[in-house]
Amino acid sequence: MEMQPRGPRLEESSLAGLTDPGVIQEHLDRLQRAVNDDLALAIGSAKELIESTAKTVLIERGTAVDERTDLPVLVKEAQQALGLHPSSATLGPDGTEAVRKILGGVSSIAIGVAELRNRGYGTGHGGAGARAGLSKRHAHLAVNAAITWCQLMLDTLTDPAAPWRQT
């Protein structure tokens, strides 16, 4: 019996509706390989997955993307493009106080992954010394946080009843 690889993944249906899911799949494949063996790469790749997902959402929604835009701005713009930013979510369940709190939380975790990477715990910035204190649980935290945000964004992008389709 062949074992399926374990590790981070998005539902296939979340990628199916995209014009070009290649870059997101590339990040997911890298995360799959890195999450248990290369913790810094897993954290750096988790940030890149969030960034690529935000850009994909914006492009799919017809918004031009400036490659120099910082991740917190991309996260906000992508959530706004889908009616999922806590300050603008008003329709259906997404407009309830409970869901708006969760939407604010997922925004914070996406930005937190970028901050963890930027503070030298992930790849993407050259450091002056060895990374200290990083453990597998931190890599799993960053990767699972990224997957959660990306899953929500991609599921909302492809949902025929999503808030952005109602406006």
**Would you call 20 exposed, middle or buried from its count of C-beta atoms within 10 A (0-12, 13-18, 19+)?**
exposed
Instruction: Please tell me the number of Cα atoms within 13 Å of 109 on its side-chain side.
Output: 18
Q: What is the pTM of this model?
A: 0.90
With cut-offs at 50, 70 and 90, classify the pLDDT of residue 1: very low
Q: Dump the DSSP string for 51-64.
A: HHHHHHHHHHTT--
Domain edges within the chain: 21-123+133-160
Among candidate residues 84, 108, 110, the one with its CA nearest the CA of residue 96: 84
What's the whole-number mean pLDDT along residues 54-65? 96
Is residue 103 pLDDT above 70, yes or no?
yes
Is residue 112 pLDDT above 90, yes or no?
yes
Q: What is the largest CA-CA distance in the chain?
A: 51
